[in-house]
Structure 1
Amino acid sequence: MLIPKFLNQNLSETELVHSRRRFLKAGLGACTLLTLPLAATSVHAAFKRPFEKKLSFLNLHTGERTRATYWANGRYIPEGMRAINHVLRDHRTGDRYKIDPELFDILHLLQRKLGTNQEFHVISAYRSPATNAKLAEQNGGVAKNSMHTHGRAIDIRLPSRRLSDLRTVAMSLQAGGVGYYPSSNFIHLDTGDFRFWGG
């Protein structure tokens, strides 16, 4: 057996055996200490539930509901996105559009800040250009090139929360546009530059 030089210095057989044992124990102890953080991390990773982002919606015009996981394990989930896009379609024409995932992230962050997972009541989400043009004719407050027509805006409320509180928290995110429409009982959110209006 190979004996380290510092152990082989005129020691008796008994002392040599004891020194050898101390040396091996110290080595094993060091190895154990080195592997503990990795072992702890592995156990933690094995039992830690993967982070998911879920959203729930009720379309007030169609009565349709969905609760879908749209993001998990570091990626957007196509099936969840499709389920949400279906409920957020233009209810007047049936046209669907791929909603900007950033809008979902804003809504999810809004829910987390509010400490709720209640479904959003949807007044308007995607609007086809034809629908938007018709609404713009009827109402001067509808933008001709609305972000709704690009799948980048949604008008919502949360029944359990005051609209003013919803607006305050949405503005605190400083992520996109926040419109406040108390007379119609909804706020507008979009993925444009941070700005706000209404009151």
Structure 2
Amino acid sequence: MQTTTDDALGSAAQTDSIKLSRRALVGCAIAGGTALAFPIPAMAVGTEWRLAIRNVHNNETVDAVFARSGAFVPEGLAELNHGLRDWRTGQATVMDRKLLALLVRLREKLELTGGAKIGLISGYRSPATNAALRSAGGAHSGVASQSQHMLGKATDIMVPGVSLDRLHGAALALCGGGVGFYPRDGFVHVDTGRVRHW
């Protein structure tokens, strides 16, 4: 009996998520892609963008200010490039600044403080890692051959204390790019590619 109740609740949550997805995409269409036209919002003098992340695989943390008063901070960008590297190979790339700004906007949408750590499941993926994940299949059967991860434009994330449904809804509402929902694997994918969801 309990299993039936859990299944029904799971189905209801998935239906709510699908409704939210459609509503969010309609909102993005009505906005006419305004969010994409200005993916990095203007900064007021004296404000700063800060990201705190914790890699769930190796427990490494980065807490860096990457923009201040409208200018990017090279040291902060370098720290985040390193923190978002391919944890399997150690290879890093220059991460998309629009992605970093999107993660800040997502944290703000969730009404979290600048020091609230985002749990990183995957950031940059080297071509070798991406190919290995694709060939492994199973849980990685949805890995795209031309993944946004390989371009430094995607992250798979979770936020401690925030439900995946809430994280997913906030990501969709931002209309900042692609959003994938992986409740069984415990993460939400966000990227700065075209607006789409799965």
TM-score range, shorter chain: 0.7 to 0.9
Q: Is it true that 1:104 corresponds to 2:100 in the alignment?
A: yes
What is the rounded CA distance, in whole Å, between the counterparts of 2:48 and 2:196 in structure 1? 29
Aligned to 1:129: 127
Q: Is it true that 1:92 corresponds to 2:88 in the alignment?
A: yes
> How many Å apart are 1:62 and its aligned residue?
1.7
Two-structure CA RMSD over aligned residues (Å):
1.2
The amino acid across from 2:149 in the alignment is H
The higher-RCO structure (CA 8 Å, 6+ apart) is: 2
SS at match of 1:169: helix
What is the rounded CA distance, in whole Å, between the counterparts of 1:98 and 1:187 in structure 2? 22
Sequence identity (%): 41
Aligned to 2:153: 152
**Moved >4 Å (runs of 4+):** none
The amino acid across from 1:74 in the alignment is G
The number of residues matched between the two structures is: 150
The amino acid across from 1:56 in the alignment is A
Q: What aligned pairs does 1:28-107 form with structure 2 within 5 A after superposition?
A: 50-107=46-103
> How many Å apart are 1:72 and its aligned residue?
0.4
What is the rounded CA distance, in whole Å, between the counterparts of 1:88 and 1:62 in structure 2? 12
In structure 2, stretches of 5+ residues that fail to align are 1-43
Aligned to 1:187: 188
Q: What aligned pairs does 1:162-177 form with structure 2 within 5 A after superposition?
A: 162-177=163-178
Aligned to 1:113: 109
> How many Å apart are 1:73 and its aligned residue?
1.4
* TM-score relative to the length of structure 2: 0.74
What is the rounded CA distance, in whole Å, between the counterparts of 1:186 and 1:128 in structure 2? 20
In structure 1, stretches of 5+ residues that fail to align are 1-47
* TM-score relative to the length of structure 1: 0.73
What is the rounded CA distance, in whole Å, between the counterparts of 1:64 and 1:196 in structure 2? 29
What is the rounded CA distance, in whole Å, between the counterparts of 2:109 and 2:88 in structure 1? 33
Computing the radius of gyration from Cα coordinates, the structure with the larger value is 1
The amino acid across from 1:166 in the alignment is L
Aligned to 2:13: none
SS at match of 2:197: strand
SS at match of 2:80: helix
The amino acid across from 1:99 in the alignment is M
SS at match of 2:79: helix
